[in-house]
Chains A and B, each alone.
Chain A
């Protein structure tokens, strides 16, 4: 019996244990791995990855998904980029006013949110499957962004430096923002009706309807909120690299979905927490960095990531299947 418990613990936390072992091995193999600069780099990347994963987690918990995330991030990065550019010959839209950064963030999130609510409306009112609805939005957003942003954006105002070049209590503001979003998401998931309705819809949409849950409104809000998060993530990426293009964020949706599922958000709906998104993103980024420090061939890294997804999901599914 005791042996079984140990085995269960190992299986339930398999991926985390794997990553811890990998970290220990890597730190012996390469002295540069366990340095502050390396870890602060990992955490910086994690910051916007976390924001994306938090947004997509809501969609997955309702047994949906969001393929438009990557392109929406690119759109958000470009919208904020238009406003962040310095006045001068390099500015794409010279007539745009230099508004405060906080307003740029809000504006970006609102525009992205508006598109997200369109995606959500198709899912909620016209019963278009999320896979299709978000894929259609992915195409629309990409085309729109190509028209609106014909060249790469750069030359941002100095205020961009605030987010990743300064620190507050030893932590960079960009990371504070990500943590703030995590806290906000936790609050929404656990302390509001909306969050509880989200779990109910994911758990059993028919029962949710019968219990009087406003299913349609909740779905629209979930996809709107997710798109707002992608917009913010786009902004964070832009200020981190001092520029943006239409291809910013390409493919990030898949990594975010993978991260969520690794962390324990169930693709069949109804299960998943903020900590799941956090763990998933951490595992993903640490794994990628560790493999790089171990000198693993770049191409083989992709295979390793794929295998980790297989292992993580198999172990995770096992928890639920075994109990039936």
Chain B
């Protein structure tokens, strides 16, 4: 028997076009919390999904208590004593705590051939397991009436009830209040005393320092190393997370930066835990990068500016004049366009043609007699865009769902070229796009900037952020943490330091800094 409860050795996993994991190792000692760290897209969640049987690994071995095992699916993983608290919980909100805990394995009573669910037993057992994790809420309460933190406790109670030896916690604190984090840590400490091994994925340095025993760092799908947590400083961790060679594949450009076109001051969301008190400005001809980790609320903030989300305060000035934006249509009238992150969700109209996908934002511009659509003019604009952006399609009548991701993105860009806004917000403009199309999109962005457009680019890809931006803002957990104006200052380390600055003054405990945000558990 080895000293490790669980070992992963040489795990490889490829998705079409990407090697997500390349020879990753992970060794968990019993009764420890093992922090798994890395940038966005380093492969942390993918590794955990391989361990939990959601993905099938291409290569690699799993040893559980010294025995080599294979895990075929999540059910198999749970039977072997591995449980996972997901990054995005997927509970049945409209049903009770007990039903959620026993979903798929309800206790039953038998009346001859008839099996009925034994509600009494189910709720009694739920109560027992909730007591075990010291959570005192009613097992009959609807899950939807609980806070996210309480739902996580239910998930953990569920893991405990299945005698889990390994519990995976994938960014459990990303949407928790400080009190809820305390409650979670208490449960984790209890589990540690019971000999359970936990994998803890988080970006929050102070939390890692408090709870973790070991740290494993991953970078770009590769294993960097494992260290005892006590021996690592925050700087050590960041250096290991970002320490890659950057090759400059970004097109050269030389643009004159003009006057301020957009000025955002003290912008706050209606949700306390989303963006708060964010201020920045944007200049003509500039590509302004927004960096941050997942959950930094960059997308939410931009969607707030574009009128998709509600604001509780703050001002937006376009060319020095304050504008009131209540809907995307208002934003467009103020000269702002936005290419959203979720292309499939709120970008494309899958069942409509390329032409209709481009036209939808510009019908007001192509009218005859004030109300009849000017099809010939629109055809010309769409065909010009197809040529100019090199959209690969047999014709503009092709349904957009038949195009590749890169070509779909170009169609969305064509929509905004036709609309011709002064300010264009591009949220993860190259996500899910192959390298060739990526480069084409960078060139389009540079051309637009050269024409005097102002571009905001949210990017979670470090290389892209550093390579494309004239200036970079970095956000963390809804707050603006830093502005980098000099090219020389634009380093991975600097961006990462700002992106992981969860409290207002680096180094202080979060309770103090965020006490006004704490919500009742």
The reply to whether A196 and B363 contact each other, CB–CB distance below 8 Å, is: yes
Give the residues in chain A near B373, CB-CB below 8 Å.
190-193, 196
From A157-165, A200-208, A239-247, give the one contacting chain B: A200-208
Digit string of B381-414 for contact with A (CB within 8 Å is 1, else 0)? 0000000000000000000011000000000000
Given known contacts A200-B356, A200-B360, is B345 in contact with A206 (CB within 8 Å)? yes
In the complex, residue of chain B having the shortest beta-carbon distance to the beta carbon of A271:
B351
Give the residues in chain B near A191, CB-CB below 8 Å. Answer: 372-373, 375
A174 at the interface (CB under 8 A from B): no
B121 to chain A, nearest CB (A): 38
Chain B residue at smallest Cβ distance from A196? B363
Name the contact of A196 in the complex, choosing from B329, B331, B348, B356 (C-beta under 8 A).
Answer: B356
Chain B minimum-CB-distance residue to A214: B329
Least CB distance from A303 to B in Å reads 32
How many angstroms from the CA of A196 to the CA of B356 in the assembled complex? 8
Residues of B within 8 A of A300 (CB): none
Interface range, B side: 20 to 34
A204 pairs with B350, CB closer than 8 A: yes
**B415 to chain A: which residues have CB within 8 Å?**
211
Chain B residues contacting A199 (CB-CB under 8 Å) are 349, 352, 356
A266 to B349, CA, bound (A): 14
Q: Are B346 and A207 in contact (CB under 8 A)?
A: yes
Structural contact, B361 and A212, CB atoms closer than 8 A: yes
Given contacts A191-B373, A210-B308, contact A203 B352 (CB under 8 A): yes
Summed over the interface, the residue pairs from A and B with CB atoms below 8 Å come to a total of 78
| With A200-B352, A323-B402: A208-B360 Cβ-Cβ less than 8 Å | yes
B139 proximity list for chain A (CB < 8 A): none
Query: Which residues on the B side are within 8 Å of A210 (C-beta)?
Result: 306, 308, 328, 338, 340, 346-347
In the complex formed, the residue of A with least CB distance to B337 is A212
Please, how many angstroms separate the alpha-carbon atoms of A203 and B399 in the complex? 11
The interface bits of chain B over 330-366 (1 if a CB of A lies within 8 angstroms of the residue's CB, else 0) are 0110000010100001111111100010011101100
Q: B351 touching A270 by the CB < 8 A rule?
A: yes
- When chains A and B are docked, how far (Å) is the Cα of A46 from the Cα of B224? 73
- Contact residues in B for A324 (Cβ distance below 8 Å): 401
Q: Which residue in B327, B371, B402 is a CB contact (below 8 Å) of A209? A: B327
Contacting A at CB under 8 A, from B70-89, are: none
Interface residues of A in 42-65 (CB under 8 A from B): none
Residue on A nearest B363 in the bound complex, by CB = A193
A residues near B (Cβ < 8 Å) are 190-193, 196-197, 199-200, 203-204, 206-214, 266, 269-271, 320, 323-324
- Apart from A209-B328, A212-B329, what 10 extra A-B contacts exist at CB < 8 Å? A193-B364, A196-B373, A200-B352, A203-B351, A209-B327, A210-B308, A210-B346, A212-B327, A214-B329, A269-B351
- Give me the 9 closest cross-chain CB pairs, A-B, nearest first: A203-B349, A206-B346, A270-B351, A212-B329, A193-B363, A212-B332, A211-B361, A211-B360, A207-B346
Interchain residue pairs with CB less than 8 A apart (14): A193-B363, A197-B363, A199-B356, A200-B349, A200-B360, A207-B345, A208-B349, A209-B328, A209-B346, A210-B308, A211-B360, A211-B361, A212-B332, A271-B351
